[in-house]
Amino acid sequence: MKYFFLSILVLTIISCKKKNDDDLAFQLIYPSYFPTPVYNFKNNELTKEKFELGRKLFYDGILSSDNSVSCGTCHSQVHGFADHNVNFSSGVNNLKGTRNSPAITNMIWSPAFMWDGGVNHIEVFSVAPITNPVEMNETMSNVISKLNNNSEYKNLFKIAYGIDNITDQAMLRALTIYMSMMVSCNSKYDKVRQGKVSFSTDEAEGYELFKQKCASCHSEPLFTNYQYKNNGLDSIYTDLGRGRITFNANDNGKFKVPSLRNVELTYPYMHDGRFWTLEQVLEHYNSGIKHSATLAPELASGLPMTADEKKKIIAFLKTLTDYTIISDFKFAPQ
């Protein structure tokens, strides 16, 4: 009898814990040293149902014209939600764009999207890949009618958003909820900041060098200052970058400073995926800076680094890999 009660008690504790874990899994959790997110969930409160619907949409080819390409095709979890080892991802009909698919974790902190910042709200972002001929090549009206003809989606939108007719707004908001949960904050760097582990000697020295040479643009804790900078890739620009949006010649050749979280996994690098390794990236800053009118002044004489310094900076960059998010089953196609 005693054992019977004890096992009931144990079972109750286990099941309570399970429930709490489930609830916790659908709260937005980020460290105290992160700033307040730009996206505030106003009019789109975070719920498990919306998250699961957003995840289903993210991995569903139904958003593309021939049902073959999903968001997940170009934003792969194991690569920190960047591309699969290609400089330009293939969309519908195997067409390729001219820019590298960026990692899309921590998007709710980003004030603007795309390498050139051409989209300024995450809730409208997904219209861009859906309607881009070299990505999903679809029209919004066609996506919405495909979804409305699908009884499973009808039901899921009813549960998540309480609507009988699926609208583009609800679809975009569900995708936003799924992306908003992609918070990458469990790297070794974070554990060091939280006092749980320490850096190795190389990592610690690399961190100091990083702060001197790189952090003016790749600022902690998100490893970007979200500004547009020309980091000296070309002297003649084939892609005008920010200038394409502002039509201001002073912005030509500038691109949004990318976050370096999970950078070990998100190769190839730069807006056109021209570098395949971190060694090549560091060699670019060391000896490859190309001069032009809009080059960031702090890069005018390059960032000279010895072989040993480069090695240490790379050791530090690898502490930004977050194994939790790349293996978290809740982000995988179910």
| String of contacts with ligand HEC for each residue 289-318, x by CB under 6 A | -------x-xx---x---------x-----
135 makes contact with ligand HEC (CB under 6 A): yes
Measuring CA to CA, how many Å separate 201 from each of 190, 194, 207, 314, 323? 17, 18, 10, 13, 22
- Looking at residues 111 to 130 of the shown chain, list those that interact with ligand HEC (rule: CB under 6 A): 113-115, 125-126, 129-130
73 makes contact with ligand HEC (CB under 6 A): yes
Min separation Cβ 23 and ligand HEC, Å: 25
CB-wise, 19 or 96, nearer to ligand HEC?
A: 96
187 makes contact with ligand HEC (CB under 6 A): no
CB-wise, 190 or 231, nearer to ligand HEC?
A: 231
| String of contacts with ligand HEC for each residue 36-55, x by CB under 6 A | --------------------
Contacts of 81-86 with C-beta under 8 Å, sequence gap 24+, read 81/105, 81/182, 82/262, 82/265, 82/266, 83/266, 83/273, 85/267, 85/268, 86/268, 86/273
Cα torsion 147, 124, 242, 33: sign: negative
CB 114 within 8 A of CB 244: no
- Looking at residues 200 to 219 of the shown chain, list those that interact with ligand HEC (rule: CB under 6 A): 213-214, 216-218
Measuring CA to CA, how many Å separate 254 from each of 227, 237, 286? 9, 10, 19
Binding-site size for ligand HEC (CB under 6 A) equals 50
Output the six-digit token pair for 275.
């570098």
Region binding ligand HEC by CB under 6 A among candidate stretches 6-14, 23-31, 98-106, 160-168? 98-106
Binder of ligand HEC out of 109, 255, 294, 315 (CB under 6 A): 255
The string of DSSP codes covering 32-43 is TTS---S---TT
Cα torsion 221, 222, 226, 227: sign: positive
| String of contacts with ligand HEC for each residue 268-287, x by CB under 6 A | -xxx---------xx--x--
* Separation of alpha carbons 95 and 44, rounded Å: 34
CB-wise, 19 or 211, nearer to ligand HEC?
A: 211
Token pair 């072989």 in the structure block, residue: 307
Output the six-digit token pair for 287.
């000896």
| String of contacts with ligand HEC for each residue 136-165, x by CB under 6 A | x-----------------------------
91 makes contact with ligand HEC (CB under 6 A): yes
* Torsion from C-alpha of 81, 84, 86, 88, nearest 10 degrees: -50
3-state secondary structure of 230: strand
The residue ranges that bind ligand HEC (CB under 6 A) are: 63, 69, 71, 73-75, 89, 91, 97, 99, 101-102, 104, 107, 110, 113-115, 125-126, 129-130, 135-136, 175, 213-214, 216-218, 229, 231, 233, 255, 257-258, 260, 263, 266, 269-271, 281-282, 285, 296, 298-299, 303, 313
